[in-house]
Chain A
């Protein structure tokens, strides 16, 4: 079993994403929600970090939070899967625990 890591802070404002990527074990799941989804956008100053993590972790982003912020699904880094709220719940049931990097 594995941990679901949740990021809800903008990578441009907080270092939550950096710490998560440093401490989330290989093979664990990382879900971007709320302002965390800004990390999922291509061609930003933080984009490369997640593109690299896609090879070692399962990456997800909450689609309603992308829509709310006007981030088009075509602008998302390859390797990040979009989930809805049901998918979010599903992820919590498939993992052994949840760590929110507030």
Chain B
């Protein structure tokens, strides 16, 4: 049996001013095909990637924000958002789009994917990974 590694994708850039956010999401979705233990972290301006009600029709770019909702279908259930980054931007979890996954071991109950964590908790999470991708 193949070894399952813990993968963490670290996202620190705002969504539409550069290509980082979209590229990260693409890599996450491609990587999801490899049945690894995947988690995403949103830090600094990266938290803006998860804002509700993004509408890019006025700036003529792809609105990839809806794609985050597909992460649950790829069994990605661990999405960590740093509380300190939200606080600095006057945001709370309510400003973020709801992301869920279905727990196979709990009669496919729909559960929240987003966990708002402190920097102390996130430091621990980062420290526990086998592989880290930075965007």
* Chain A residues within 8 Å of B, Cβ to Cβ: 8-10, 12-13, 34-35, 38, 41-45, 47, 63-65, 67-72, 84
Contact = CB atoms under 8 A, between A and B. Distances in A.
A12 B90 contact: no
Contacts, number: 72
Nearest to B55: A67
Given A13-B13, A13-B14, A38-B89, 14 more contacts: A8-B17, A10-B17, A12-B45, A13-B45, A34-B16, A38-B48, A41-B90, A43-B90, A44-B89, A47-B90, A64-B59, A67-B58, A68-B16, A68-B54
Main secondary structure of the interface of B (DSSP, over half): loop
Contact of B88 (A44, A64, A72, A84): A44
B55 to A, nearest CB: 5
Interface residues of B, number: 25
Interface of B: 13-18, 44-45, 48, 51-59, 61, 63, 65, 88-90, 95
Given A13-B44, A38-B48, A69 B89 contact: no
Contacts of B95: 70
A70 B14 contact: no
A69 B58 contact: no
A70 B51 contact: yes
Contacts of A38: 14, 45, 48, 89
Contacts of B15: 69
Nearest to A35: B17
17 contacts: A12-B88, A13-B13, A34-B16, A35-B18, A38-B45, A38-B89, A44-B89, A44-B90, A45-B88, A68-B56, A68-B59, A69-B51, A70-B51, A70-B52, A70-B53, A70-B65, A84-B58
Contacts of A9: 17
B26 to A, nearest CB: 19
A84 B63 CA distance: 19
A64 B58 contact: yes
Contacts of A44: 88-90
